[in-house]
Amino acid sequence: MTETPASEPSVLTGTQDPEQPPGPQQPEPRLEPALLIDVQLEHLNPHQRARLPAMADLQRWALAALDPRLSPRHARIVWPAELTIRITDEAESAELNQRYRNRAGPTNILSFAFEPPPGLDLAEPACDGIGGLLGDLVICAPLVQREAAEQGKTETAHWAHLVVHGTLHLLGFDHMTTTEAAPMEALEMRILGALGFPSPYEVNDDANGERRRI
């Protein structure tokens, strides 16, 4: 099932009389960040679907991770931006994980940054490699739900983290090395903190009542 887009493709601020040329003091209309999300739900039973986050939440979390003020890389995003979030089961997640990462078993999220085919003339040109077409996120709903319970998190907090995490991957952030991981994790914690969520890399330790890193 494909959800309808959560927002209009673009939002313009500023008005101008089409019959009058802009005066020297009149600012040009400014394109505000707007995000078009295609949500695909595949191979999920009714119970799993009932526990999914709302479309408005997916929209809010992804937009938070795309805030142009976060980094120079974010400032190069072409707006309006588009991405796909495919929410699926463990079987499809495992198949994609094996095919594209050569790893067995399902994984909580896979990120596929958009790469235009050779010779494709995009309506919105990429800007330093980051254009309006961001790519695809594939999230394994049953695994997200299970991990949240195992890590002592709410499902909402875990979903928010994975959407933010995956969206940053689409922009080229990574965590394969310590040098890469530290700034990416700091950015995730900053974004999630602004959304009202605790650090995703710490959980409550029932033994002493303190938070510990996972």
Question: Which parts are annotated binding residues for Zn(2+)?
Answer: 165, 169, 175
Tell whether omega for the bond before 80 is within 30 degrees of 0, i.e. cis: yes
Expressed in percent and rounded to 5, the helix, strand and coil fractions of the chain are 35, 20, 45
Binding residues: 165, 169, 175
Q: Whole-angstrom Cα distance, residue 163 to residue 137?
A: 8
Contact 180, 174 (CB under 8 A): yes
Name residue 182's amino acid.
A
* Angle between helix 55-65 and 155-170 (nearest 10): 50
The two three-digit tokens of residue 202, written as one number = 């710490």
DSSP state of 81: E
Question: DSSP letter string over 20-61?
Answer: SPPPTTPPPPEEEP-EEEEEEE-S--HHHHHTSPPHHHHHHH
The two three-digit tokens of residue 123, written as one number = 């309506």
